[in-house]
C-alpha cells in the first residue's frame, strides 16, 4: 500500500513539475487573457488593455504588459499567483552545429530554439512578383531533417516544446501548431506571445 501511495505521489509531482505552455493573448482591442494549452483552460486578465499588445515582462507574480495606443507606449500591471509558476526556458544554441546546407536555399529568419535544444524553428520568406510566400520550417539539429510546418512567419516554441506559435501568412493573426498531433489549433486573437521567464 505504501509503495502504491509513493508511486502515485511521484506521478502527481512529475505531472505537476512539467512546464505548462501558457499563451498570453489579446482577443480584441481591450482584453488580455492567458490560455494554458496543456489543459485547455483560459483565464481573463484585464479588460483595460487598450491598444495593441507589443510585449511583456514577468517579475515574480506580476505581468507588465506593453501596449501601443495612439502612437504611445502604455503599460499595465497585472498581479496573479499564476505568474510565479511560469517556466524559465534557458537554451544554448551551438552555432557550430548549424550547417547552412540544412536550410535548402532558404534564408532563415526569426529563428527560435526548442527548450530541449534539439530543434530549431524558423521562418523563410521569398519575395517575387507573382510567387511570394512566407513559410515556417522546423529543423532537427541532430539529423538535419527539415519539416514544413505552415505558411506563416515569426515562429516560436512553447515552454514544453509541444507547440509552435506563428503568425498566419493569410490572415496575419496568431496560430498554434501542435507538434504531437501534427495539427493547427485555431485561436481567436489578434496578438499572442508565449509566457516565459
Q: How far apart are CA 37 and CA 21, in angstroms?
A: 6
Q: Which of 5-14, 17-26, 91-100, 135-144 has the highest mean pLDDT?
A: 135-144
Average pLDDT, the chain: 79
Closest to 60 in 3D by CA, of 89, 25, 85, 35 = 85
Q: Minimum mean pLDDT among 95-99, 104-108, 140-144, 177-181: which range?
A: 95-99
Q: Give tens-digit pLDDT for 115-170.
A: 888 888 888 877 666 666 788 999 888 888 889 999 998 999 998 899 999 998 88
Domains and CATH numbers, the chain: 15-85 (no CATH), 95-194 (2.120.10.30)
Q: Check residue 128 and give its pLDDT.
A: 62
User: Which pLDDT belongs to residue 3?
Assistant: 46
Q: Each residue of 148-167: b (16+ CB within 10 Å) or e?
A: ebbebbebbbbbbbbbbbbb
Among the residue ranges 56-60, 92-96, 111-115, 142-146, the one predicted with the least confidence is 92-96
**Residue pLDDT, tens place only, 184-193:** 988 878 888 8
Handedness of CA 88, 93, 94, 98 (dihedral sign): positive
Which pLDDT score is estimated for 15? 37
What global pTM score does this model have?
0.76
DSSP letters for the chain: -HHHHHHHHHHHHHHHHSPP-EEEEEEETTEEEEEETTTTEEEEEES---SEEEEEEEETTEEEEEEEETTEEEEEEEE-GGGGGPPP------GGG--GGGGTT--EEEEEE-TTSSEEEEEEEE--SS--EEEEEEEETTT--EEEEEEEEEEEE-TTSSEEEEEETTT--EEEEETTTTEEE----SEEEE---
- Cell numbers for 114, please give them: 526548442
Amino acid at each position: 500500500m505504501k509503495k502504491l501511495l509513493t508511486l502515485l505521489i511521484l506521478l502527481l509531482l512529475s505531472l505537476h513539475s512539467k512546464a505548462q505552455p501558457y499563451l498570453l493573448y489579446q482577443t480584441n482591442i481591450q482584453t488580455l487573457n492567458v490560455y494554458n494549452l496543456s489543459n485547455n483552460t483560459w483565464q481573463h486578465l484585464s479588460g483595460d488593455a487598450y491598444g495593441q499588445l507589443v510585449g511583456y515582462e514577468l517579475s515574480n507574480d506580476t505581468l507588465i504588459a506593453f501596449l501601443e495606443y495612439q502612437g504611445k507606449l502604455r503599460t499595465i500591471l497585472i498581479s496573479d499567483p499564476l505568474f510565479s509558476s511560469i517556466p524559465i526556458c534557458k537554451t544554448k544554441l551551438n552555432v557550430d552545429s548549424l550547417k547552412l546546407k540544412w536550410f535548402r536555399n532558404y534564408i532563415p529568419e526569426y529563428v527560435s530554439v526548442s527548450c530541449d535544444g534539439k530543434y530549431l524553428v524558423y521562418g523563410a520568406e521569398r519575395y517575387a512578383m507573382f510567387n511570394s510566400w512566407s513559410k515556417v520550417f522546423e529543423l532537427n539539429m541532430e539529423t538535419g531533417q527539415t519539416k514544413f510546418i505552415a505558411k506563416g512567419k515569426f515562429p516560436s516554441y512553447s515552454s514544453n516544446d509541444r507547440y509552435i506559435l506563428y503568425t498566419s501568412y493569410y490572415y496575419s493573426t496568431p496560430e498554434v501548431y501542435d507538434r504531437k498531433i501534427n495539427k493547427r489549433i485555431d485561436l481567436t486573437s489578434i496578438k499572442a506571445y508565449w509566457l516565459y521567464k
